[in-house]
A and B are shown apart, each in its own frame.
Chain A
Amino acid sequence: MATMSLGRALNAGLRQAMERDGKVVLLGEDIGKLGGVFRVTEGLQRDFGDRRVIDTPLAESGVVGTAVGLAMRGYRPVCEIQFDGFVYPAFDQIVSQVAKLRHRTEGRVAMPLTIRVPYGGGIGAVEHHSESPEAYFAHTAGLRVVTPSTAGDGHLMIQQAIASDDPVVFFEPKRRYWERGEVDDTPTPVTPLHQARVIAEGTDATVAAYGPMVATALDAARIGGEEGTSIEVIDLRSLSPVDFDTIEASVRKTGRLVVAHEASVFCGLGAEIAARVSEHCFYHLESPVRRVGGFATPYPPSRLEQHYLPDTDRILHEVDRCLQA
C-alpha cells in the first residue's frame, strides 16, 4: 500500500502493464521524453525504450488508426489523446474501426486497444481542453468506456483496461490528477472493471457520479450529512456498460436519485440512467430522478466554468428538490 497522486498511480499502472506484457506499446503526442503534457507517461520511454513508448506525429486519427494496425499485428496498444477536445479527429477510427472490427470479423480480429483521454474542466484551461465527450463513446457498441475517480482505481483500472481484449476508452479526470490516494498493488477483492462502487452509504437519496464529479458528490454527501440528509454516493467507474444493478439496489433503498456529471445533461449518461431507473425502479421512487450537469452550451471560458460545472451546492439543490417532491 502506498499513497500517491492519480497521475502517478496511472504511471505506475502503465509501467506494470508494460512489464507484464511485452506487446503493450504506448503511442501518443509528447509521451516520450516529455512524459506527456500531464506527465502520466513520465520515465516510461527512458525505461522501456522508444520502440515501446512511441512519440507520434500530430494526428489523432493517425494515432488510433496506427494502433488498429498494431493490434491486427498482435500488439496491445495504449493511445494517449492529449486532451478531450482533441479526440474528435480520431472519432471515425474509434467508432468505425476500433469499436466494430471484432464484430465485423466475427471475432477473428481482436482490438485490445486502450485509448486514454484526459477529460473534464476545472483547470482554467483554454477552449477544447475541458470537455466531457464520454457519452459519444458510451453510445457506440463495441467500446467499453470507463473512468477512475481515485488514485487506487486509476492504478487498478488502467491495468484492467489494458488487459481487456475489448477496446476501452479510458477517461482520466484531469483536475484530479494531483489528488492523492491509497494505491494497493494487490487489492482483494479486485473490483471488476465494469462494476460501480458504493463509496458512501446513506438512506435518504442516492447521488450517482463518475470521474471528476465523484469527489464533489462525496463533499455534498458530507455537507448533507451535517445538515441531516443521509446521502448514498455511487462511483459509476464504468460508463459502458453501466452497472445498473448497483444503482437500482441503491435506489430501491433510498427512493431518490440524482445523477451528476460535468457533461451536458441533454443525452448524457444521466439521461440513460434516469430512463433505466424509471423502467426498473418506478414503484420504489419517491420522486423523479434529477440530473445535474453541464448546460446545453459549449464549454465556457474558464472565468465562467464555476457556473457550468456542478458543485456541491448544485448537487445538494437537486437532492433537496427530490426530498421536497
Chain B
Amino acid sequence: MAIAHVRVPQGRIPEWMGFDGLVQLISVDGQPTVGCPYWELVADVGAEQLRELYTDMVVVRRLDAEAMALQRQGELGLWAPLLGQEAAQVGSAHALQPDDFVLPSYREHGVAYCRGVDPVAMLQLWRGTALSGWDPADFGIATPAIIVGSQALHATGYALGIALDGATSAAVAYFGDGASSEGDVAEAFGFAASYAVPVVFVCQNNQWAISEPVRLQSHGSIAQRGQGYGIPGIAVDGNDVLAVLAATRLALARAYAGGGPTLIEAVTYRMGPHTTSDDPTRYRSHEEEEEWRVKDPLARLRALLRSEGLADDPFDDETTAVAEDAAARLRRGCLALPDPPPDALFEHVYAGPHPLLQEEREAYEDYLSTLES
C-alpha cells in the first residue's frame, strides 16, 4: 500500500478525543465511524485491500490455533498465542514498506507473517530446533526478542543507523504493556527522542502481562508515556485493523519525514493465555473475557465487509480454505523440522577462531564416538 498520499502537516498528530480517546475507524459492531481525522490516512484502502487485511487476520488466527494444538500435542515446547491481537499486528504490518525493519517480541507471529516469514520457520524456537528461525535481512524483521523491552533499544539503534545512512525508512519496535515498565523501553524513549531517529514504538496493550493487569504497570496512559520525552503518542483501538493501519502510517510518515519517534498504544486484548504454560482462570474473570469477545477484531471487520457488500459466502469459503491450507502446511512443516546435530551446539558462537570452544567441541565429539560402539 502506498503511503505517498499521506499528508503530515509539520508532522503533527491530529487532535482526537473521540471514542474514549481512541482512534477508531470501525465501530465494535462493524460500522464506519464518523468524524475521525484518521480516515484520511486510509482513503486509498479499497475493497480488495480490506479483503486482504481480513484474509491475513483469518490466516494468522488459524495458524495460531494450529500452533496451540501442536503444543498441546507435545510437538512444541511452548507457544505464545496472539489470539485477539490480529488487528493490531496485521494492521500495523500492512503499513510497513519493504525497507522498514521490525524488531518484534515473541508474540508477533502476525507481523512476521505479513513480512513474508514462513510460519514453519517461526516454530523453530518454540519446538526447540533452533534459537530463532529466519534471516532478518531477508524479511525486514528481526527474530523474536524474549527479554521483554530489550528490542526497543535495538530499534532505536537501528533507526539511528538509518538516520546516519540518510535513508528514508524506519525501525519499528513491538512490545507489550508489561514491557512498557522495563528500563530499556524508557531508555529507548530517551535515546530516540534525543536523536529524533525514525523509529515507531508499537505497544500492544493487551491488558495483561501474564497475571498482572495493566493498571499494575501504570495508572496513566501508555500512549502519553512518551510526552515527557517529547515523543507524541497515538492511542488507537487495537482491535480495529483500519485504525491501526492509519496510526502506523502516520507514525511512519513522521519518521520518513525526519519527524522522529512516535509511540502507538494499540489497545487490545490477549484473549488466550500468556503462553501455553499459563492459566488465566486463576487471575481474570470470565465476564471480562466476554466483554472483550464482543470487540473481536475479526468479527468486526467481517461485519463491515458484509454490510458493505464486500464479502459473501464464496469469499468466506475461499478465506477458510486459504487458512486451512496454511494450517495444514504448518503442521506438516512442524513435524518435519529436523533435530539439529549435536555439533550445532558449537556453531556460530564466535566469528573467529576460539581455542577453548574448539577444544571442547573435539572432546565432546570424541566422547560421543565412544558411545556409538
Kindly state the separation between the CA atoms of A103 and B131 in the bound complex, as whole angstroms: 8
- Residues from chain A with a CB closer than 8 A to the CB of B349 are 102-103, 141-142
Bound CA–CA A194/B183 (angstroms): 34
Q: How far is the CA of A21 from the CA of B143 in the complex (A)?
A: 28
Contact with A along B155-180 (1 / 0, CB 8 A): 11111111011000001000000000
Does B4 sit within 8 A of A, measured CB to CB? no
> A68 interface residue, CB < 8 Å from B?
yes
Query: Is A299 an interface position by the 8 A CB rule?
Result: no
Q: Smallest distance from the beta carbon of A79 to chain B beta carbons, Å?
A: 11
**B154 and A65 form a contact (CB under 8 A):** yes
Interchain nearest-CB distance for B181 vs A (Å): 14
A25/B164 contact (C-beta < 8 A), A65-B184, A106-B348, A241-B356 known: yes
**A72 is an interface residue with CB less than 8 A from chain B:** yes
Q: Which of A67, A71, A102 is in CB contact (< 8 Å) with B350? A: A102
Cβ of A65 to closest chain B Cβ, rounded Å:
3
Q: Which among A51, A68, A96 has the greatest number of chain B C-beta atoms within 10 A?
A: A68
Interface of B: prevailing SS: helix
Partner of A65, one of B131, B187, B194, B354: B187
Is A110 in the interface zone, CB < 8 Å from B?
yes
Asked whether any CB of chain A lies closer than 8 Å to the CB of B74, the reply is: no
Is B153's CB under 8 angstroms from A69's CB? yes
Q: How many residues on B have C-beta within 8 angstroms of the other chain's C-beta atoms?
A: 44
Q: Contact between B160 and A69 (Cβ–Cβ < 8 Å)?
A: yes
Cα distance A207–B150 in the bound complex, in angstroms: 42
Q: Say whether B299 faces chain A, with CB atoms less than 8 Å apart.
A: no
Provide the bound-state CA to CA distance between A245 and B130, in Å.
34
B160 & A66 in contact (Cβ 8 Å cutoff): yes
Q: Is A56 an interface residue (CB 8 A)?
A: yes
B256 on the A face (CB < 8 A): no
When each residue 162-201 of chain A gets 1 if its CB lies under 8 Å from chain B and 0 otherwise, what string results?
A: 0011100000000000000000000000000010000000
* Cα(A93)–Cα(B357), bound, Å: 23
Bound together, the chains give a CA A112 to CA B194 distance in angstroms of 25
Whether A166 lies near B352 (C-beta < 8 A) is yes
Q: Is the CB of B160 within 8 A of A106?
A: no
Contacts A68-B153, A92-B150, A166-B351: A61 and B160 contacting too (C-beta < 8 A)? no
Q: Which residues of chain B have C-beta atoms less than 8 A from A75's C-beta? A: 161, 164
CB distance from B293 to the nearest CB of A (A): 36
Say yes or no for A104: interface residue by CB 8 A criterion. yes
Inter-subunit contact A72/B153 (CB<8 Å): no
When A96-B150, A141-B349 are in contact, do A69 and B354 touch as well, CB less than 8 Å?
A: no
Chain B residues near A64 (CB, 8 Å)?
Answer: 153
In the complex, whether B78 has a CB less than 8 A from a CB of chain A is: no
Which listed segment binds A: B134-142, B214-222, B264-272, B273-281?
B134-142
CA distance A93 to B187 in the complex (A): 12
Residues of B within 8 A of A89 (CB): 183
A contact set with B: CB distance below 8 Å: 25, 51, 56-57, 59, 61-62, 64-75, 77, 89, 92-93, 96-97, 100, 102-110, 112, 141-142, 144, 164-166, 194, 241-245
Further pairs besides A56-B191, A107-B348: 14, Cβ < 8 Å: A25-B164, A65-B154, A65-B156, A66-B154, A73-B160, A93-B153, A103-B347, A105-B135, A105-B143, A106-B347, A108-B137, A165-B351, A244-B355, A245-B355
